[in-house]
Every structure is written in C-alpha cells, then in structure tokens.
Amino acid sequence: MSRLIETHSSRNPRLLLFYGIISGLLTLLVCGLAYRQLFKTGLYSERERLQNQRRVIFPRPRGNIYDRDGRVLVGNRARFSVVLDLAQLRGEFRAEYRKVERNYSSMDRAERPNFDQLERISRASVVQGYLDKLNFILGRNELVRATELNRHVSQTLLLPYVLLDDLAPEEYARLIERLPVTSPLQVYTSSTRYYPFGSAAAHTLGFIGINNDPEAEDFGDEDLLTFKMKGSSGRTGLEKVFDEQLQGESGGAVYRVDPAGYKVDRPIEQRRPVQGHDISTSLDIELQQAAELAMVGRTGAAVALDIKTGEVLVLASKPDYDLNTFVPRLTQDEAKAIETSGGWLNRTIQGQYPPGSTFKVITSTAGLRSGAIEPGASKVICPGYLMVGNRRFPCDGIHGEVDLVKAIRVSCNTFFYRYGIETGPDLLAAEAHRFGFDHPTGIELPYEFSSPHVASPAWKKANMHLPWTAGDTANTSIGQGDTLVTPLQVACMVASFARGETETKPTLLHDPKRAPQHTTAIGLAPADYNAILEGLAQCYQFGTARLANVEGLHAAAKTGTAQKGRIDLAWMIAFAPIENPQIAIAVVMEGTEPDVSYHGAFFAAPIVKSILTAWKEKSEREPLKPVSFKVD
C-alpha cells in the first residue's frame, strides 16, 4: 500500500496569491512600525515622560525684615516636623494588605471590605505602626488621621507625609538621636515666620497667609503633573507691599514614578530653594516700643518721622495684635478678639480724624502769609468765646489779651476764630493742601486712607450740597468740622514745618545715604516763622504741652482736642530739638472711656514724652551694632 504524500508546488497560483497578501500585510506592518518608530518617536517618548515623571515644587523661605539698626523685626525660624516617606513602605503596605485580607476572609463576602477599603485599612495600620514608634520616643499618644492620609495618597503622594508638626527643640533632639538614619521616618525642616518683638509695629510689618499655588519659576517642564507644597504670601503691611522682594526662588525636584505614583529613584532634576531678599526698614524698634508701651490699654496712633529724610521711625497703632499668634495660623477665637477690640485698623494711615488744634499751625501760616496776622500787632481780648453771627463759639478758657505767640501757647480758640475768618476759608484750605492734607502720603503700605480732605466752600458744595458759612470757617481754623486727616499726614506736616518747607514724603525704607528732602519753602518771613516757633516752644516749655517736656531737650509742641462723633480725640504734635530739628511726632488718642474728657495735654503728652525720652537717650549714646536674634 502506497502512502499518499501531500506535495506543494511553489508555483501554485493559489499560493502565489497568499504570498502576495502576506507580503503586502508584512510590508504594511513594517511601514506602520517604521512610521511610529521613526516619525512618531518624539510623541511617544513625550507621552511616556509625562506619564512617568512628576514635578514637586518646594516653597522658599522669605527674606527678613530689619529695623534701621539691623535688628530683626521679622525673621524665619525653623519648624521641625516628622515626615514619613511612603514610597519606602510599599512592601509593608502589600504585606499588611495580605494580612488584613486574611483577617476578613472568614466574613461573609457581602460584608467584606472591597479592594479600596482594604488598601486604606492596611495603609493606615502601617502608618499607625510608625506613629507608635514616635509616640514611644516622645511620650505622646497620637493617632493616625485616616482621612488626611488618604487625601495625601490620592493628591500629594510625592510630598512627604507629615506625621507630627511643629516639634519642640527637645522633641527634635530626641528624634535626631533615636531614629535610625535610614528610617522612612525623617525629621523635616521648613521655615515659618518669627517675630522677636511680638506685637511691636504689627500693623506696619503685616502678616502672611498660606499660598496654595507657589510659583514654579521656570523649573522643570510645566506640562508635568505638579505637586506644590504650600507657600506663603504677604497679606498686609510690608509683607504685602514687598511680597515680590521677600519671596525667594522656589525649589523643586522632578521624580520618575511607578504606575502607582510612588517615586522610584533619586530626583532626575533638582533645584534648592533660595531665600528671598531682606528689607531694611526705617523703623526704630526702640522708639516704637517706647511709644507702644506708653499706649498700652488705650486706643490711638503715634507717628514719628526723621525730619530731614522723611524716614518713618515710629508707626504705632493701638489696639494691635501679637504677630506670633498668626503662626502657624490664627484661630477663629483670636481673630474674633482682634475684631472686637478694633485691632485690625491701622490708625496711623487709616484712622480718619479732624486735626483739632494742631491745625492752628496751618491757620497761623495761612494768616501770616496772607497778611491777616501780623506778629505782635494782631491781638484779641479772649472772654472765653467768640460770637460769629448769632452763634457762640467757645474757647477753652478766658485768656485776656492774646497775641499769636500766646494764642499758640495757650491754644486760644478765640484768636484763631477771629484771624481764621479774616484769612478766609479758601486760603486756609489752600495752605492745608500745600502741606499735603488733600492727598494720601503714598507711604509703602496698603490700604492708606485714600480721600483725606480739608473743608472748604468748594468741598462743602461738591460733597454736601450746602452753602459755606462763617461758622464753618471758624470751625476749620481750629481744626474742627469736616476736615479729616490721618496721623501720618499730620506728622508729615510737622516735619515739613520744622524744615521750613511744605511737604514731606514719608518712607518706610531705610537708606543710610539718603539725601535730605527738600520741597517748596514755607513762604514765611523769618520773623513770622519765628513767631510760630516761639509759640510752639513756649507751649512745650510751660504751655498746654508741658507734660511732654523732657529735661535737657528743647522742643516745639502743640496740643489739640477734637471730636469725631461722640469720641473725643486727644492730639499732640512735636518736633525736637528746636535748634536743629531731627524728629517730628504726631500722636492722637481716642477717648474710649465714658465720662472722661480727653485732652491732648493729658492723654497724648505722655506718649510724646516717652518717644522723645527714648530718642534723646539713644542719640546720646554710641550707635548700636547690628545684633542677631536667638530662637529659644
């Protein structure tokens, strides 16, 4: 029996057809592969990179803020926390998962946790194990916050998971010594704001808030999935105005990750954060503290300026708040307490006050420049009031015969009613405008009162749609009525007058080489200027401002009292030394106590005295060398 052997002929037309089809398909396949390999390589490698790489942005420490002598007003302190590197725990998570799964295996299938739940349980269990180690070392009793942990895993897996935050130095030391160097638990340092002087200059320095979206600043590829650690940004004060300078350069790292999102190696690319620039302010913390100490428990503002340069030495507003309470964050109760006390308001630049009798300096200047007042010749007999029309305008006392010098010394309203009316409202307003009472000072602080104004016929018509009366002029000439200014504006007026000029541009930045300011001259003859100066000097020596008198210091001063609604305002302005003016001061205190009549002589003078005393003591001793601070 013969075997039937199947044979093929390579020339079989049917096979040739298959050869053709197979060759065509293979060619198509090769072409497709070649197309993808040769022409689409970039696209696929880019997709692979985006899928496998993650970018992490670290915040940068902010720059420090110093006072004019180099003392740190706002610094950074280290904040120690313990973090857990979850990427190192993948094996433990898997082992724990199997263990937990076995434990639940005896349960009914319907009641068993699903995959996600088992994963969360096992993860929390492993993390709690590490937390227990910390609890043992530190004598604490902390429990893992499962919700927070799950959120961390799903949203910020590449960032270290913070187990314990803001450790005390002793705790940090114990952990340094007891945690193995290779442990997944590591001590992590970040920076937080530190205020060595607590509440001093709180409104001026300002505070920071959390910034959830710190800038990456050209680090890595912006297309990569990015995790950003929380940064900070200035919310008020200098922290806000100079936020850009104070912010440093963000650090960052690019990691390769596995499909679960855990980093698998050292960073592919890395940049360390760089601290922001420092700021040297013109504040003098010694004078600032002296002013604030004298203002404790009261409501008001105090400003002191360097007369020659316009640099702000003191900017104190009460009530205030301790900036350290903002670290790490202000509690709701603390915020409410500040709100209740009225502490949010920076009264030095936001307080809107009628200037009271401090305005008499401007009335005198306007009167002398217009010729309405002649030193020595212009006199009134003060019976304790002046009748304007049929309305009686009161004076604080019966001063008898009063000339300009005496009028300033005893703050005689009758004299200024009379010569204010003679000068005229338009000239009074124009003089006030020359001293900068009609516009903000432009100091480097946010939220300055933007519409200060001096009452005048035009202003009253435009804003109140009422005609101007002689009584309005009388009120304006003694700083009452609708004129509203800030304490900083008044301080600028004092500094300008002390220099014999009309405007002072205040600044909070210190420059040891800053040239003296020079603006338009005051436009008074020397005899006229000296008459006002004599009145101010007498006021300081034995007039209404005598309670501010500092032994051995010749100064010029003027008190004032005004009303804003039902609140009495106690004002005082001063500059010293009179022979070579260097420091100008303006203080206003709000009468918060019922049944107490607020006068500048009693309530503002002690604060002026405190500032002058501190200034005198400091100017008589050797200049301080810059000092550093310790974080206890």
Partner 1 sequence: MFPKRFDQARPFLTLGIVLLAWLFVPLAVKSFTRATFFEIQAPLVVADSYVQFLQTFWSNRMHSKDELLQAGQQVAGLIAQYDYSTQQNQQLQAEILRLENLLNLPPMPAFRFEPARVARRDFSGWWQRMVIRKGENYGIPVGAPVVFSGGVVGRVTEVHRYTAVVDLITSPTFRLAATASGDNRPVSYQGGLNDSFKSPRGIVEFVPLDIYATRTATRRLVTSGLGGVFPPGLTIGDITNLESSADGLFKLGEVQLDERLGSLTEVTVLVPLNPEEL
Note whether 182 binds partner 1 by CB under 8 A: yes
Nearest to residue 407, comparing CAs of 369, 472, 360?
A: 360
Note whether 222 binds partner 1 by CB under 8 A: no
User: Alpha-carbon distance 221 to 18, whole Å?
Assistant: 50
Distance, CA of 424 to chain centre: 43
Note whether 91 binds partner 1 by CB under 8 A: no
Note whether 247 binds partner 1 by CB under 8 A: no
User: Alpha-carbon distance 373 to 394, whole Å?
Assistant: 21
Strand partners, 226: 55
Give the number of other Cβ atoms within 10 Å of residue 628's Cβ. 8
Note whether 420 binds partner 1 by CB under 8 A: no
Note whether 401 binds partner 1 by CB under 8 A: no
- Which of 176, 293, 466, 624 touches partner 1 (CB under 8 A)? 176
- Which of 120, 178, 546, 554 touches partner 1 (CB under 8 A)? 178
Q: With CB under 8 A as the rule, give the number of residues binding partner 1.
A: 28
If the CB atoms of residues 230 and 272 are measured against partner 1, the closer one turns out to be: 272
Nearest to residue 383, comparing CAs of 363, 373, 367, 397?
A: 397
Q: Check if the beta carbon of residue 290 is closer than 8 Å to that of residue 90.
A: no
Pairing state between β 251-256 and 269-271: antiparallel
Token pair 């007058």 is at which residue?
497
3-state secondary structure 204-269: HHCCEEEECCCCCCCCCCCCCEEEECCEEEECCHHHHHCHHHHCCECEEEEEEECCCCCECCCCCE
Specify the stretch interacting with partner 1 by CB under 8 A; choose among 179-187, 205-213, 350-358, 614-622.
179-187
Note whether 174 binds partner 1 by CB under 8 A: yes
Residues 377-396 that bind partner 1 (CB under 8 A): none
> Does residue 273 have a cis bond before it (omega within 30 degrees)?
no
Least CB distance to partner 1 at residue 627 (A): 9
Residues 260-289 that bind partner 1 (CB under 8 A): 272-275
Note whether 172 binds partner 1 by CB under 8 A: yes
Specify the stretch interacting with partner 1 by CB under 8 A; choose among 168-176, 319-327, 543-551, 563-571.
168-176
Least CB distance to partner 1 at residue 240 (A): 21
φ/ψ of residue 615, rounded to 5: -65, -45
- Which of 237, 251, 310, 436 touches partner 1 (CB under 8 A)? 251
φ/ψ of residue 402, rounded to 5: -135, 125
If the CB atoms of residues 130 and 540 are measured against partner 1, the closer one turns out to be: 130
Helices (H) and strands (E) in the chain, counts: 21, 20
Note whether 630 binds partner 1 by CB under 8 A: yes
If the CB atoms of residues 253 and 362 are measured against partner 1, the closer one turns out to be: 253
Token pair 């990569």 is at which residue?
224
- Which of 28, 173, 293, 567 touches partner 1 (CB under 8 A)? 173
Q: Which amino acid is at 262?
A: Y
Note whether 191 binds partner 1 by CB under 8 A: yes
Note whether 170 binds partner 1 by CB under 8 A: yes
Residues 64-83 that bind partner 1 (CB under 8 A): 76, 78
Note whether 526 binds partner 1 by CB under 8 A: no
Tokens representing 619 are 């100017």
Give the number of other Cβ atoms within 10 Å of residue 459's Cβ. 17
If the CB atoms of residues 72 and 153 are measured against partner 1, the closer one turns out to be: 72
Token pair 């009292």 is at which residue?
561
**DSSP of 557-602, one letter per residue?**
EEEEEEEETTEEEEEEEEEE-TTS--EEEEEEEE--STT----III
User: Alpha-carbon distance 68 to 71, whole Å?
Assistant: 7
Specify the stretch interacting with partner 1 by CB under 8 A; choose among 25-33, 169-177, 221-229, 501-509.
169-177
Query: Which x/- pattern, by CB under 8 A, does the window 590-629 give for partner 1?
Result: --------------------------------------xx
Note whether 181 binds partner 1 by CB under 8 A: yes
SS3 (DSSP) at 185: strand
Query: Which x/- pattern, by CB under 8 A, does the window 41-60 give for partner 1?
Result: -------------------x
If the CB atoms of residues 60 and 203 are measured against partner 1, the closer one turns out to be: 60
Strand partners, 302: 316, 587
User: Alpha-carbon distance 420 to 368, whole Å?
Assistant: 11
Least CB distance to partner 1 at residue 231 (A): 13
Least CB distance to partner 1 at residue 278 (A): 10
Specify the stretch interacting with partner 1 by CB under 8 A; choose among 185-193, 317-325, 420-428, 581-589.
185-193
If the CB atoms of residues 116 and 632 are measured against partner 1, the closer one turns out to be: 632
Note whether 177 binds partner 1 by CB under 8 A: yes
Least CB distance to partner 1 at residue 631 (A): 7
Query: Which x/- pattern, by CB under 8 A, does the window 468-497 give for partner 1?
Result: ------------------------------
The dihedral region occupied by 396, where left means phi > 0, alpha psi between -120 and 50, and beta the remainder, is alpha
SS3 (DSSP) at 63: coil
For residue 50, the surrounding DSSP H or E stretch is: helix 41-52
Tokens representing 174 are 């114990």
- Which of 20, 24, 32, 169 touches partner 1 (CB under 8 A)? 169
Note whether 165 binds partner 1 by CB under 8 A: no
If the CB atoms of residues 274 and 596 are measured against partner 1, the closer one turns out to be: 274
The dihedral region occupied by 85, where left means phi > 0, alpha psi between -120 and 50, and beta the remainder, is beta
The number of CA neighbours under 13 Å toward the Cβ of 443 is 33
If the CB atoms of residues 1 and 181 are measured against partner 1, the closer one turns out to be: 181
- Which of 117, 189, 212, 520 touches partner 1 (CB under 8 A)? 189
Specify the stretch interacting with partner 1 by CB under 8 A; choose among 164-172, 431-439, 587-595, 618-626.
164-172
Specify the stretch interacting with partner 1 by CB under 8 A; choose among 118-126, 182-190, 214-222, 366-374.
182-190
Q: Check if the beta carbon of residue 313 is closer than 8 Å to that of residue 303.
A: no
Tokens representing 432 are 């006030």
Contact residues: partner 1, CB under 8 A: 60-61, 76, 78, 169-170, 172-174, 176-178, 180-182, 187, 189, 191, 248, 251, 272-275, 628-631
